[in-house]
Structure 1
Amino acid sequence: MAWEKGTSSARENTPLLPNQLKSEPLSSSSKSFGNILIAIVGAGVLGLPYTFMKTGWLAGIIILGIVAGLTYYCMMLLVWTKRKLEKEGFVKIGSFGDVGFIVSGPIGKGMVDSMIVLSQAGFCVSYFIFVANTLSSLFFRNEENEHYLYGSKILGLEASKLFIWAVLPFQLGLNAIRTLTHLAPFSIFADVVEILAMVVLMIEDVVTYVRNMPYLEAFTNFSIIPYGVGVAVYAFEGIGMVLPLETVTDQKHRFGGILGLALIFITAVYGAFGLLGYLAFGSETKDIITLNFGKNLLTDLVQVALSINLFFSLPLMMNPVHEIVESRLNGGQYSFPLRALSVSLTSLVAFFVPNFSDFLSLVGSSVCSVLGFVLPAIFHLLACRRDCSLVQICVDILIIFFGVVFGVAGTISSVKQIFFADVV
């Protein structure tokens, strides 16, 4: 018995590595490590200092560690499920959606596809927000360096909202490109820029902390914990890339170790970035940490670089959405109207979202928790229950239960932060 993927079926393979699944030399351990970093590290890191302010610095570190551990385990659940299915005769399993289809039929694949569409579109909403807010900060900050977002208007419209519409036509053009091969160099550039920008920002954080030394809280309020979990889940989301990367790894028996090392490294970087940002600005930490820095040439260059990074990453992140939508509604054929509609709806959501980090928590809680925890545990339980011990079965059930509970709690907490911040 074999599972053969149709050429027109939608895939959630990351757009960051458009040719790796097609070209046969396999990835070395070092390349696999780098590809995992590319697949996971994204704009979510910029909201971590604000999240640490909300939860407290010690609570934030603990949350990151727990989410990282659960993320690793659930990613490996997906790998183990794939290998179990391959032993049973299924071949060419290369994506999360493939596993969902084999285990649960069209319903399983539909669940994976819908969660991927929502998560990827959610990432792009945050990209729109960041680029628009950063451009507004650069062009509409007063001499006292006060925050512009809640006052500056152009023709009666907030400056940040205007920039969302200003960016939209360019994104429609970039998303119209049929093949991502032409955008691949921008992916590499984007990741290099992001790493350099994070280093610069952390150095600035240390300098600012030494100068200001604000009051910090280790824990704030237990009710805000689900909010912090949502942001952390968003920051670690990348499970759609696990099977494509495992497929092209030359030493598959080492993939689990490589994945573990990569997640330990990412957790350390996330923890340092979130902690230093909160250390520098305390209760004044803003939802996008770059907005805290004074207006000077270095910080302006960092903000411009990050904006360019996310501007060119946005069409790459929208590609899985386009593939799934075109597969479902247009027989897998290219459709510019469908792509334009998807991008326009994404920008419309960004237009009405008031806070970057609050939105990260909402997406992480409502979508990424299902995609990253609940579905892998369900698929593993269905596919491997006959070979699992009672302990493994109980662990799967607990992951499903807590994934749902924290997903609901985090969604409620995020909605309160977005719409009812005064009562939280």
Structure 2
Amino acid sequence: MGAKGDVKVTRKLLSSTTSYEDSGAHADVILQQSGDFTEENRTSSCKTLMNLLKGNIGPGILALPIAFKYAGLWAGAVGLFMLGYISLHCQHMLMTCSNILKERPISMGERLGYAGVVENCLATGPIFFRKFQNAGRVMINVFLIVTQLGFCCVYIVFVAQNFRQVLLGSNKENGELDLIIMGIELIVVIIYCTTIQTLHGLSYFSYVANFLNFAGLIFVLYYVVQGSPPQSERPAFLGWYDMPMYFGTAVYAFEGIGLVMPLKNKAADEWDFSRRCGLLSLGMTIVIALYIAIGFLGYLKYGDHVLGSITLNLPAVDMLSRLTKITFVVSVFVTYGLQFYVPVNILWPKIEHRLSSPRAKSVGNVVFRILLILLTGAIAMVIPHLDLLIALIGALASSSLALIFPPIIELLTLSAEGNRPSVLIIVKDVAIMLLGLLGCITGTYAAILGIVNVS
């Protein structure tokens, strides 16, 4: 098919694809994507920065102390710093490629999300790759589905383990109680997710979750800064053996690349958001600093006894500690519906068109949601280990979206129309891609091996 045919096919695809297929890894992505891009609906710089911070600071930050346990105190801090800024660079690459693609006839100035950027770079890149444009969009959506459902699984385990400690007033393991709580939790989640099916209803829960997240982090910092041992008592570097687990856990936290395009498209000043020292860089610098602080101080405080979430290490009988856990439990629970929205709205239209009557579609939607929720619950019950589950989702899915796809997108975008990227760009992109692939393969293997060994 010639270039003209590619343009026609892709324009048809873009016009028939709804915005949720470009949703990113956070609930805020969905909320940002749901609005139009008229001038009166654009967000101010302050609100854009707050959305960026809220979208990147979630349950993943609570697992960072155990990431330091795999790497060591200072190796963990340096690794998190480097990984954070590589991730930031990949976000800038994605925005730059989006701007380049927007000027090409195939896009005609249209604002693109992550999947749209992938589809367009394939459609306008080297001729050999143009036939894969549909597969590119499908692949991104598959990784988004896996990532979002993985988050939902993590949320179920997180709520069960923290709520168990609140009920018992003890840090002792109790697998049977975890399973009971998961069962009750699934029933409540099913009711929650089948009765609230619109973004308008879910947006109120997003505001509640964001407030609770920041309040909970303040409580956590209050605990970890008290009574910590000297840094000399913690190893600076623990060797390379557990680095794949460190990588998976850390990348899980840096899951916000899908948030970048919606925020850029909605920002009142797109240039200020996307420039090298602009709003995105400022926001991610704050995020990286918070990540390093929680990871460093949490591991310094609890050492080898640190658990899959720092909240599980907090005193069991302290009222403030219980309040902290309840804060995060409520925050994570209400966020489940927002994360769940992405896979439902990517998958359900594929099923809906096969049903004829409105009643069949209504019943089918509810049944589909229930089955998907039960799937996440089943995975959570099979892998009730928070640290291993987080490492698996981070290495398998998050690393691909954050580190592997952006370099490929840049190389394809800059190789269009007979052009060729510079040697420096090729070497840089290949290095980032190899880092992502190495972390993805070794991290996934290490997490699966850990799950098998504890089963």
TM-score by length of 2: 0.85
> RMSD of the TM alignment (CA)?
2.2
Q: Answer yes or no: is 1:234 the counterpart of 2:252.
A: yes
Q: Answer yes or no: is 1:173 the counterpart of 2:185.
A: no
Corresponding residue SS for 2:28 = coil
Measured in 1, the distance between the counterparts of 2:192 and 2:94 equals: 33
Question: Cα distance 1:206–1:214, how it changes in 2: closer, same or farther (>3 A)?
Answer: farther
- Please point out which of 44, 67, 70 is paired with 1:28: 44
Which deviates further from its counterpart, 397-406 or 313-322?
397-406
Q: Answer yes or no: is 1:276 the counterpart of 2:292.
A: no
Q: How does 1:397-408 map to 2 (within 5 A)?
A: 397-408=430-441
- Please point out which of 9, 15, 18 is paired with 1:5: 15
Question: Cα distance 1:414–1:250, how it changes in 2: closer, same or farther (>3 A)?
Answer: same
Which deviates further from its counterpart, 386-395 or 198-207?
386-395
Q: Deviations over 1:87-146 (max 9, x none)?
A: 1121323311112222331100011000000011111111111100011111134xxx4x
Deviation of 1:215 (Å): 3.1
Question: Cα distance 1:421–1:51, how it changes in 2: closer, same or farther (>3 A)?
Answer: farther
Q: Which residue of 1 aligns with 2:103?
A: 87
Which letter does structure 2 place at the counterpart of 1:353?
I
Measured in 2, the distance between the counterparts of 1:167 and 1:316 equals: 16
Which deviates further from its counterpart, 54-63 or 114-123?
54-63
Q: Answer yes or no: is 1:148 the counterpart of 2:164.
A: no
1:230–1:365 CA contact under 8 A, matched in 2: yes
Deviation of 1:349 (Å): 0.6
Q: How does 1:341-352 map to 2 (within 5 A)?
A: 341-352=371-382
Measured in 1, the distance between the counterparts of 2:30 and 2:114 equals: 17
Question: Cα distance 1:115–1:412, how it changes in 2: closer, same or farther (>3 A)?
Answer: same
Higher helix share: 2
2:307–2:313 CA contact under 8 A, matched in 1: yes
Q: Answer yes or no: is 1:296 the counterpart of 2:318.
A: yes
Which letter does structure 1 place at the counterpart of 2:28?
L
Which letter does structure 2 place at the counterpart of 1:340?
I
Q: Answer yes or no: is 1:16 the counterpart of 2:38.
A: no
Measured in 1, the distance between the counterparts of 2:224 and 2:329 equals: 20
* Alignment length (residue pairs): 411
Question: Cα distance 1:241–1:331, how it changes in 2: closer, same or farther (>3 A)?
Answer: farther
Q: Answer yes or no: is 1:362 the counterpart of 2:392.
A: yes
Q: Deviations over 1:57-103 (max 9, x none)?
A: 11111111111111111111111111111111213233111122223
- Please point out which of 245, 262, 269 is paired with 2:283: 262
- Please point out which of 319, 342, 353 is paired with 2:341: 319
Question: Cα distance 1:252–1:132, how it changes in 2: closer, same or farther (>3 A)?
Answer: same
Deviation of 1:293 (Å): 1.6
- Please point out which of 119, 124, 128 is paired with 2:147: 119
Corresponding residue SS for 1:27 = coil
Corresponding residue SS for 1:68 = helix
2:62–2:310 CA contact under 8 A, matched in 1: yes
- Please point out which of 161, 174, 184 is paired with 1:133: 161
Q: Answer yes or no: is 1:53 the counterpart of 2:65.
A: no
Measured in 1, the distance between the counterparts of 2:70 and 2:421 equals: 40
Which letter does structure 2 place at the counterpart of 1:186?
F
1:214–1:282 CA contact under 8 A, matched in 2: no
Corresponding residue SS for 1:286 = coil
Question: Cα distance 1:17–1:227, how it changes in 2: closer, same or farther (>3 A)?
Answer: closer
Q: Which residue of 1 aligns with 2:444?
A: 411
Deviation of 1:166 (Å): 0.8
- Please point out which of 223, 243, 246 is paired with 2:264: 246
Q: Deviations over 1:297-348 (max 9, x none)?
A: 1110110110000000001011111111113332497722222111110111
Question: Cα distance 1:194–1:317, how it changes in 2: closer, same or farther (>3 A)?
Answer: same
Measured in 2, the distance between the counterparts of 1:57 and 1:369 equals: 23
Measured in 1, the distance between the counterparts of 2:144 and 2:328 equals: 24
Q: Answer yes or no: is 1:70 the counterpart of 2:98.
A: no
1:12–1:241 CA contact under 8 A, matched in 2: no
Question: Cα distance 1:184–1:304, how it changes in 2: closer, same or farther (>3 A)?
Answer: same
Identical aligned residues as a percent:
25
Corresponding residue SS for 2:384 = coil
Measured in 2, the distance between the counterparts of 1:417 and 1:216 equals: 24
Question: Cα distance 1:342–1:414, how it changes in 2: closer, same or farther (>3 A)?
Answer: same
1:293–1:299 CA contact under 8 A, matched in 2: yes
Q: How does 1:373-392 map to 2 (within 5 A)?
A: 373-385=403-415, 386=419, 388-392=421-425
Question: Cα distance 1:388–1:236, how it changes in 2: closer, same or farther (>3 A)?
Answer: same
Measured in 2, the distance between the counterparts of 1:208 and 1:307 equals: 26
Deviation of 1:167 (Å): 0.4
Measured in 1, the distance between the counterparts of 2:401 and 2:368 equals: 24
Measured in 2, the distance between the counterparts of 1:195 and 1:165 equals: 28
Q: Which residue of 1 aligns with 2:3?
A: none
Question: Cα distance 1:401–1:185, how it changes in 2: closer, same or farther (>3 A)?
Answer: same
Question: Cα distance 1:17–1:221, how it changes in 2: closer, same or farther (>3 A)?
Answer: closer
Measured in 1, the distance between the counterparts of 2:350 and 2:257 equals: 22
Gap runs ≥5 in structure 2: 1-6, 123-132, 355-360
